């Protein structure tokens, strides 16, 4: 099993694209959690989310871009 | 204190998300909300896309230039190209006006930039290029916790 | 095809993680492995920190300049400052050599950069500044699925 694991690790390294998506989904979960928890009006800031995830805030921004859904951004303007 | 950065990159569309992330990471330092980040990323996307597809006609030669500075939670952005420029600026800024109707979201770039920022100025010279000056006041932490 | 970017920013330490993410976002386009991106971020951190704390003595005046280009999955990085420069380069590059022993990981910056890259060249001129030239070959996805 150790050998298989090593084979998988050496031959199928985790690509950045996947890791970014993982961080991004976690960031969204944290955001929702913070919003529900505090019943607040304002969205949490990037820094608050970064603190929970224990990564630099720049990394949160970077990761979120990987799952950005551009279409949804424009709905408020068209409506 | 003022913090400043200048960026230039090859005018190819795979650099759009790079440009967006760079500006967003720069302003991450002053702790914006997710919403502000999204707005700024959208604005950068629109301006950079315009430079690449209209300014340089997707020719992949040429560069896009971005300057960002932050002072007192106010972001100033300049997005510039040395492309073909715009002949009739007033017309170009009209909602839904586009010279490339085959694209998605046609004609809304300038309208989006104007809406997501507090100030927008466009300077363009045919054959010399286009510069977009944008200002956006970000909410401070103080304002949020008041 | 070559893709290129140039970045400059105020030499303040809050820009370190900005610089790291910017370079990471640039190379993310060719989807490197996590290990490669971690190495590159570390290298950028070391070089940028050196420019800020040694080159400019943490004076927050001055700028740090980064150029990155990718061609055939080979990354070329230049990280440059216009700070005080290094008098004895050979000595400076020795593992554990440092002029600021109070810092973390003292004296290992050059050693780390050298180890995480395929090539490193340092050019420095007292009173004019320091440039670090780095090359790193990244793995392609094709190579992996072979
Ligand atoms: N950087 C630029 N260089 C040249 N022309 C531009 C530039 N930016 C915008 N334009 C012109 O302005 C028009 C409107 O731009 P925009 O509102 O973003 O809509 P769209 O990009 O969908 O056409 C474009 O169709 C183009 O003719
Ligand atoms: N950009 C620079 N400008 C001036 N001096 C530098 C620069 N980079 C490195 N040095 C000198 O080289 C020494 C070794 O650098 P490094 O290996 O990164 O270790 P450290 O930063 O921990 O001192 C530094 O202590 C400093 O004297
Ligand atoms: Mg447009
Ligand atoms: Mg060092």
Instruction: Kindly report which listed range (A36-50, B26-40, C11-25, C111-125) carries the lowest average pLDDT score.
Output: A36-50
Is residue A64 a contact partner of residue A24, using CB atoms and an 8 Å limit? yes
Is residue B36 a contact partner of residue B84, using CB atoms and an 8 Å limit? no
Mean pLDDT across the stretch C131-137? 98
Which CA distances in Å does C77 have to B23, B54, C44, C135, C137?
20, 30, 9, 6, 11
User: How many CA atoms lie less than 13 Å away from A27 in the CB half-sphere?
Assistant: 32
pLDDT digits over C2-26, tens only? 999 999 999 999 999 999 999 999 9
Q: Give the confidence band of B111 by pLDDT, cuts at 50, 70, 90.
A: very high
Unique residue bearing structure tokens 């993410």: C21
Q: Which residues of B touch C (CB under 8 A)?
A: 1-10, 12, 14-15, 17-18, 21-22, 25-26, 28-29, 60
Out of B58, B71, B105, B119, pick the active-site residue: B105
pLDDT digits over B6-33, tens only? 999 999 999 999 999 999 999 998 889 8
CB contact under 8 A, C25 and A59: no
Q: Give the confidence band of A1 by pLDDT, cuts at 50, 70, 90.
A: low
- A39: closest CA of chain C, how far (Å): 31
Q: Is C72 in the pocket of ligand 2 (CB under 6 A)?
A: no
For chain B, the residue count is 146
Catalytic status, residue C93: no
Is residue B77 a contact partner of residue B58, using CB atoms and an 8 Å limit? no
Q: Give the confidence band of A8 by pLDDT, cuts at 50, 70, 90.
A: low
Q: Does A17 touch chain C (CB under 8 A)?
A: yes
Which CA distances in Å does A10 have to A4, A16, B14, C146?
10, 15, 29, 13
> Residue C26, class by beta-carbon neighbours within 10 Å (0-12 exposed, 13-18 middle, 19+ buried)?
buried
Unique residue bearing structure tokens 């740090």: C64
Q: Which residues, in sequence order, are bridge partners of residue C74?
A: C71, C137
Gap between the Cα atoms of B47 and B93, Å rounded: 12
- pTM of structure: 0.91
Query: What is the atom index within ligand 1 of the atom nearest the CA of B83?
Result: 3
Mean pLDDT across the stretch C58-62? 84
Gap between the Cα atoms of C84 and B126, Å rounded: 43
Catalytic status, residue B4: no
Nearest Cα residue to atom 16 of ligand 1: B109
Instruction: Kindly report which listed range (A36-50, A63-77, B40-54, B96-110) carries the lowest average pLDDT score.
Output: A63-77
pLDDT score for A71: 40
Nearest Cα residue to atom 18 of ligand 2: C109
Res A3 pLDDT > 80: no
pLDDT score for C146: 38
Pick from C1, C2, C9 the residue to mutate for testing the B interface (most B CBs within 10 Å).
Answer: C9
Q: Among residues of chain B, what percentage have pLDDT more than 90? A: 81
Query: What is the atom index within ligand 2 of the atom nearest the CA of C83?
Result: 3
The alpha carbon of C21 and the centre of ligand 2 are apart by a number of angstroms equal to: 22
Mean pLDDT across the stretch A64-78? 57
Res A70 pLDDT > 60: no
Q: Which two tokens stand for residue C86?
A: 């290094």
Q: Give the confidence band of A9 by pLDDT, cuts at 50, 70, 90.
A: low
Catalytic status, residue C50: yes
Nearest Cα residue to atom 9 of ligand 1: B50
Mean pLDDT across the stretch B45-54? 96
Is residue A39 a contact partner of residue B24, using CB atoms and an 8 Å limit? no
For residue B142, the tally of other CB atoms under 10 A from its CB is: 8
CB contact under 8 A, B15 and C21: no
pLDDT score for C106: 84
Is residue B10 a contact partner of residue C5, using CB atoms and an 8 Å limit? yes
Q: Does B118 touch chain A (CB under 8 A)?
A: no
Contacting chains of C (3 CB pairs or more, <8 Å) are A, B
pLDDT score for A37: 81
pLDDT digits over B75-103, tens only? 999 999 999 999 999 999 999 999 998 87
Those residues with Cβ within 8 angstroms of residue A79's Cβ, 6 or more apart along the chain or in another chain: none
Complete DSSP assignment for A6-72 = HHHHHHSPPBHHHHHHHHHHHHHHHHHHHHHHHT-SSPPBHHHHHHHHTS-HHHHHHHHHTT--HHH
Report chain B's C-alpha Rg in angstroms: 15
Q: Tell me which of A11 and A32 has the higher pLDDT.
A: A32
User: How does the average pLDDT of chain A come out, rounded?
Assistant: 78
Q: Does B144 touch chain A (CB under 8 A)?
A: yes
Out of C16, C20, C36, C50, pick the active-site residue: C50
Q: Which two tokens stand for residue B106?
A: 């046609």
Res B59 pLDDT > 90: no
Q: Is C4 in the pocket of ligand 2 (CB under 6 A)?
A: no
Instruction: Kindly report which listed range (B16-25, B34-43, B114-123, B136-145) carries the lowest average pLDDT score.
Output: B136-145
């Amino acid at each position: 099993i150790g050998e298989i694991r090593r084979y998988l690790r050496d031959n199928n390294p985790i690509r950045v694209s996947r890791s970014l998506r993982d961080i991004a989904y976690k960031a969204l979960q944290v955001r929702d959690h913070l919003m529900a928890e505090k019943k607040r009006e304002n969205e949490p800031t990037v820094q608050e989310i970064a603190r929970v995830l224990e990564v630099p805030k720049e990394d949160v921004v970077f990761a979120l871009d990987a799952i950005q859904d551009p279409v949804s951004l424009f709905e408020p303007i068209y409506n | 204190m003022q913090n400043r950065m200048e960026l230039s990159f090859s005018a190819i569309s795979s650099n759009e998300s790079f440009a967006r992330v760079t500006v967003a990471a720069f302003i991450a330092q002053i702790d914006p909300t997710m919403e502000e980040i999204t707005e700024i990323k959208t604005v950068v996307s629109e301006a950079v896309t315009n430079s690449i597809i209209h300014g340089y006609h997707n020719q992949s030669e040429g560069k896009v230039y971005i300057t960002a500075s932050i002072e007192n939670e106010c972001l100033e952005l300049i997005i510039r190209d040395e492309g073909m420029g715009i002949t009739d600026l007033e017309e170009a800024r009209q909602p839904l006006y586009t010279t490339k109707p085959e694209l998605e979201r046609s004609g809304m770039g300038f309208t989006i930039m104007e809406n997501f920022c507090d100030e927008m100025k466009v300077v363009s010279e045919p054959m010399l290029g286009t510069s977009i000056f944008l200002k956006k006041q970000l909410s401070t932490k103080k304002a949020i916790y008041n």
